[in-house]
């Protein structure tokens, strides 16, 4: 009996406690998606497009994983990862993140996790971009896709002894796989990416001091030419040399003169019996009549001379007085 009372009291206590809970969900502080224009690094113009930017903060340090467009059958997502380290700690002016060199084992684990199933060979050639030296590995998948994995640590080359232990840096990782691009094309992204962030404290500048002017400027004995050609044949090669004008093809004008050709008119042969003229009654019949243009002396009239000397006027000269006067000229 006492046992049942004890169980009943425990049940009431549990029910009373459950009724007081609110049931709210608390969101833990962690990674969040930010707009693409707030990315701390950008691929080069014409390079892979930004898909999303995931940001995570650890105190004052900031990590961003910038997902890039991917055209490959290799599992995984292309990305550009940037980490700004060294702005947290008790003294934000100097930072507290210790300097760590990139280890071979860590890079090998990163490549195996981000580019699975592809054997990447590290390049032994020394290369550097605008931010300094970097390393990379490349390989091809079984399907023929080209992949590279690049890593870079950006920091100033020199610092004061007080900042040796607390010196800021920027870590960069780049994973690219493409079914159509070559290794050289993918490597162009490593050379062309831009970091769009920095630290507020001047002592935390990881890029170093701005490079000074060339030591040759203003120093005697070191001529500087406006082009790579230098001084030759007593004249400065500045790219303004006169060039001969290109020869133009001569245009020849030809006029074709067409000579008139003589046209021979053959009189039609007479058909039927020949009718003799009155003065040829007793002679042989003529085979035809030969006419020739003749001019009446003293009158300038054009006509036809018959065999007996008779002038027959042209049909064009028979008409009105104007036409007849014209034929007489």
- Per the CB < 8 A criterion, the answer to whether 16 and 23 are in contact is no
Rounded CA gap, 197 and 87, in Å? 13
Locate the domains of the chain by residue range.
32-204
- Phi and psi at residue 79, to the nearest 5°: -155, 160
Q: Which of 36-45, 148-157, 191-200, 242-251 has the lowest mean pLDDT?
A: 242-251
Give the pLDDT confidence of 61-96 residue by residue, as tens digits. Answer: 889 999 999 999 999 999 999 998 875 444 444 444
- Mean pLDDT of the 298-327 span: 54
Residue 106 has pLDDT above 70, yes or no: yes
Alpha-carbon distances of 74 from 71, 117, 141, rounded to whole Å: 9, 8, 7
Residue 222 has pLDDT above 60, yes or no: yes
Q: Where are the beta strands (DSSP E) in the chain?
A: 32-34, 41-42, 50-58, 61-68, 79-85, 121-122, 127-129, 132-140, 146-154, 169-178, 194-195, 231-232, 235-236, 292-295, 302-305, 311-313
Q: Would you call 145 helix, strand, or coil by DSSP?
A: coil
Q: How confident is the model at residue 242 (pLDDT cuts 50, 70, 90)?
A: very low
**Cβ-count burial 55-87 (b if 16+ within 10 Å, e if not):** beeeebbbbbbbbbebebebebebbbbbbbbbb
Rounded CA gap, 111 and 150, in Å? 9
Sequence-ordered list of residues with C-beta below 8 angstroms from that of 238, at least 6 positions apart, any chain: 226, 227
Q: Which two tokens stand for residue 173?
A: 């990782």
Distance of CA 242 to the CA centre of its chain: 32
Residue 241 has pLDDT above 50, yes or no: no
Rounded CA gap, 80 and 65, in Å? 6
- Mean pLDDT of the 311-320 span: 58
Q: Which two tokens stand for residue 268?
A: 């039609």
Give the pLDDT confidence of 8-64 residue by residue, as tens digits. Answer: 767 766 666 555 556 677 666 678 899 999 999 999 998 899 999 999 987 778 899
> Which of 153, 111, 121 is closest to 134 using CA atoms?
153
Q: pTM for the full model? A: 0.57
Give the number of C-alpha atoms closer than 13 A to the C-alpha of residue 256, restricted to the C-beta side: 1
What per-residue confidence (pLDDT) applies to 40? 93
Report the largest interatomic distance among the alpha carbons of the chain, rounded to a whole angstrom: 186
Residue 219 has pLDDT above 80, yes or no: yes
Number of residues written out for the chain? 329
């Amino acid at each position: 009996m006492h046992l049942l009372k004890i169980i009943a009291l425990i049940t009431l206590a549990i029910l009373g406690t459950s009724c007081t809970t609110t049931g709210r969900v608390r969101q833990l502080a962690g990674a969040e998606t930010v707009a693409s224009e707030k990315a701390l690094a950008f691929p080069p113009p014409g390079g892979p497009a930004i898909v999303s930017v995931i940001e995570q903060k650890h105190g004052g340090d900031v990590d961003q994983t910038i997902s890039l467009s991917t055209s490959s059958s290799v599992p995984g997502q292309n990305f550009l990862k940037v980490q700004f380290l060294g702005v947290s700690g008790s003294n934000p002016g100097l930072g507290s993140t210790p300097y760590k060199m990139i280890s071979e084992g860590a890079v090998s684990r990163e490549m195996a996790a981000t580019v699975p199933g592809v054997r990447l060979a590290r390049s032994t050639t020394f290369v550097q971009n605008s931010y300094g030296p970097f390393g990379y590995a490349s390989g091809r998948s079984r399907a023929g896709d080209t992949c590279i994995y690049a890593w870079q640590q950006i920091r100033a080359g020199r610092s004061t002894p007080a900042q040796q232990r607390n010196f800021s840096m920027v870590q960069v990782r780049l994973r690219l796989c493409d079914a159509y691009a070559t290794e050289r094309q993918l490597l162009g992204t490593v050379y062309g990416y831009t970091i769009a962030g920095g630290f507020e404290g001047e002592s935390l500048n990881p890029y170093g001091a701005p490079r000074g002017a060339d030591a040759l400027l203003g120093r005697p004995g070191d001529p500087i030419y406006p082009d790579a050609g230098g001084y030759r044949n007593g004249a400065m090669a500045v790219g303004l040399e006169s060039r001969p004008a290109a020869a133009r093809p001569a245009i020849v004008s030809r006029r074709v003169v067409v000579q008139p050709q003589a046209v021979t008119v053959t009189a039609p042969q007479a058909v039927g019996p020949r009718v003799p003229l009155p003065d040829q009654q007793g002679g042989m019949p003529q085979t035809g009549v030969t006419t020739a243009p003749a001019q009446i002396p003293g009158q300038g009239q054009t006509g036809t001379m018959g065999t007996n000397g008779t002038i027959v006027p042209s049909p064009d000269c028979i008409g009105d007085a104007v036409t007849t006067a014209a034929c007489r000229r």
